[in-house]
Amino acid sequence: MPVMSIQKFAFPAEQAVELTQQWVEAIVVGLNLCPFAAPEVRNQSIRYVASHAASLEEATQDFLAELQIIQKSDESELSTSLVNFTDTAVEFEAFLDLLDMCQSALESAGLEGVFQLASFHPQYCFSGVNPDDITNWTNRAPFPTIHIIREGQMSRVLVHYKTPEEIPERNMALMEKLGREGLIERFSPLGIYQGQDQN
């Protein structure tokens, strides 16, 4: 799979949480990419945290620490968590390695089926899709991010959708309709990466 090279992240590490929160509100909720994000934003039950780990192993430990926090928290107070990685997984391939390590750690903790992971990266690229395809932007965020989701909560929300399996296709169609400029208009920080691939 082709991978675009990023020499460093486009934004300072201290902006990770703020930018991720803005991205969730402008893109994920603003475009309704995720069916249960809007109520959690209103309830302020989404936790945003930044890991400044310098290695994949340290980043995995930070992920496990966050997993423990959400596991011990009441869903009404902490429904879901987004972990940004500001100093590692710069290249998308390295991020995929980190995602595999975090998934293995989740399974080793006996929490498979309780939590699931979603992933986002500045240069996210779906398998078999060209890096310049606009549909990749459904999963592009300012920093590498792993989203810890409560499976029970997701199941309760999706039961209200007649065809939840169509959500990814709908999101991709929306990306194609809006195009690069339409997405950047809604969340300008995404435009910092527009020169690294061509639509």
Q: What is the pLDDT of residues 124-135, one digit of tens each?
A: 999 999 999 999
**Which band of pLDDT confidence, cut at 50, 70 and 90, is reported for residue 199?**
very low
Buried b (16+ CB within 10 A) or exposed e, 7-41: eebbbeeebbbebbeebbebbbbebebbebbeebe
**How do residues 52-85 score in pLDDT, each as one tens digit?**
999 999 999 999 999 999 999 999 899 999 999 9
Average pLDDT over the chain reads 89
Q: How confident is the model over 36-56, as a mean pLDDT? A: 93
Taking residue 159's Cβ as centre, other Cβ atoms within 10 Å add up to: 9
Would you say residue 89 has pLDDT above 50?
A: yes
Q: Which amino acid is at 197?
A: D
In terms of C-beta density within 10 A (0-12 exposed, 13-18 middle, 19 or more buried), how is residue 128 classed?
exposed
What is d(CA 60, CA 65) in angstroms, rounded to the nearest whole number? 9
Distance of alpha carbon 178 from alpha carbon 146, whole angstroms: 25
Instruction: Kindly state the average pLDDT of the residues 33-62.
Output: 93
Q: Please give the helix or strand (H or E) that residue 145 lies within, else none.
A: strand 145-150
pTM exceeds 0.95 for this model? no
DSSP 8-state secondary structure symbol assigned to residue 123: T
Distance of alpha carbon 29 from the chain centroid? 13
Instruction: Give the three-state DSSP class for 173.
Output: helix
Backbone angles phi, psi at 46, to 5 degrees: -95, 130
Predicted pLDDT at 166: 86
